Structure 1
């Protein structure tokens, strides 16, 4: 799709422990043409900057415009947003344990929330937004945001290594883990593990793995070679009903509706 540009960039080595990637999403549309984007449940957190165009809440009453910069925390909800005309978004995809270190609050306090950077960071957030929105291009935005994150991370206490490892291991396994044996390998009681895991990830381990399995299914968008039955099994679902229920909860679609090829906001998945 020539009017859609989406790409990711790996973080510099100094940020790799806390940042999964930087990304940009741009689309050229006729003036006033509406575009609806649906964000899905996600086990990680994003810091987002709308440098061109502005998205508003597509569901329910619109009491005020959505902010131009925000922290889109890890969530088990889907949301719908609408804009008109061309737009450009730049973001950084963070491991959830970056939140406590960046903001000095537990990840659980921000779960399912989308606060603006002015509220979270005060004058510092307003200044960062100003610099990001008026940067020359996305390369400069990545430099600005990388420098900001490096400075901020150096000022805060590091996340517990054992929980960082647990979260990254669960992500790498796409949530396909045996929970009792998984917690045992970190030499904490199950109660200690769950408390610390939720502080750093925002969810219980069980919920976290459900969202990760859902995302491993999402990543097969456009793969015509796999049936929905095989996809459910591949992603760790033992029957279709659990697969359908999780998918519907986290995306608002049934798997059949989503993989049909015209899901809201999925255009970036079609960019090679």
Structure 2
């Protein structure tokens, strides 16, 4: 394996907002121009580089830029490519979009399908936190510090009641499988107002977020089972197998079987709770 991942769940009070903490070791063989395609998962990623070596990220499918020392990756609805010229080690924080809004008070729509320097978005206190993470060598110590920092930020910024957060939680808990009208009717504001606030805050529609949740369900299934698409189509409420394949390819760029044949070319991080 040319990539190694280690994950830890966040502290219990943060689980509705932080999907996971992770440590990644990429291009462990130091191959020249080792590349992977990152598939959409509906999450925001914070990347803290632990060494001086960084990956290169594509922008608009045309230009390549070396990622910032502390990188913020927004919610993508299409795959994006990363290239590693050397061994790259990082500490990552995977946030649900409503996590970014409630922890840092920043609308995720500002970085939809793009990346930024975290310091420019979250401010100087995050730069100080990131530097402390780099100074720690033990993963569990890094996670403990992240829980402490994020817990404090959440207590300072969280809304008393967030309808869009409720909608996102419902979507994640049901893997986007619940009927759309049944889902939005569980949120105690008008459907039109919910749709508007959801899109204005996150930069993505409720229906597309439901589709990303179903994509995560497909990936969860494929990690533990052979790609029996007929049964999977039925379980995930697709019309038929061709419907599943079409929607999957829309978001991932490949068919499920093509991905399984070349699994090492992709980074799949599910955004499930």
TM-score (normalised: structure 2): 0.86
Return the offset for 1:178.
0.6
Return the offset for 1:197.
2.7
Change (3 A) 1:187 1:224: closer
Q: Is this contact kept in 2: 1:228–1:256, CA < 8 A?
A: no
Distance 1:159 1:228 in 2: 42
Q: How many residues align?
A: 267
What are the within-5 Å matches in structure 2 for residues 83-232 of structure 1?
83-158=84-159, 160-232=161-233
Return the offset for 1:55.
0.6
Q: Is this contact kept in 1: 2:17–2:100, CA < 8 A?
A: no
SS at the partner of 2:261? coil
Q: Is this contact kept in 2: 1:167–1:201, CA < 8 A?
A: no
Return the offset for 1:126.
2.8
What are the within-5 Å matches in structure 2 for residues 53-64 of structure 1?
53-57=53-57, 60-62=62-64, 64=65
Give 5+ residue unaligned stretches, structure 2: none
Return the offset for 1:82.
0.6
Return the offset for 1:81.
0.4
* More deviation, 69-78/52-61: 52-61
Q: Which residue of 2 aligns with 1:72?
A: 73
Q: Which residue of 2 aligns with 1:21?
A: 20
Change (3 A) 1:266 1:95: closer
Change (3 A) 1:260 1:32: closer
Distance 1:217 1:228 in 2: 9
TM-score (normalised: structure 1): 0.86
Distance 1:234 1:196 in 2: 31
Distance 1:167 1:236 in 2: 19
Q: Which residue of 1 aligns with 2:243?
A: 242
Give the ranges of 4+ consecutive aligned residues of structure 1 lying more than 6 Å apart after TM superposition: none
Q: Is this contact kept in 1: 2:23–2:90, CA < 8 A?
A: yes
Return the offset for 1:201.
4.3
Give 5+ residue unaligned stretches, structure 1: none
Q: Is this contact kept in 2: 1:222–1:261, CA < 8 A?
A: no
* More deviation, 239-248/178-187: 239-248
Return the offset for 1:222.
4.3
Q: Is this contact kept in 1: 2:3–2:28, CA < 8 A?
A: no
What's the Cα RMSD here? 2.5
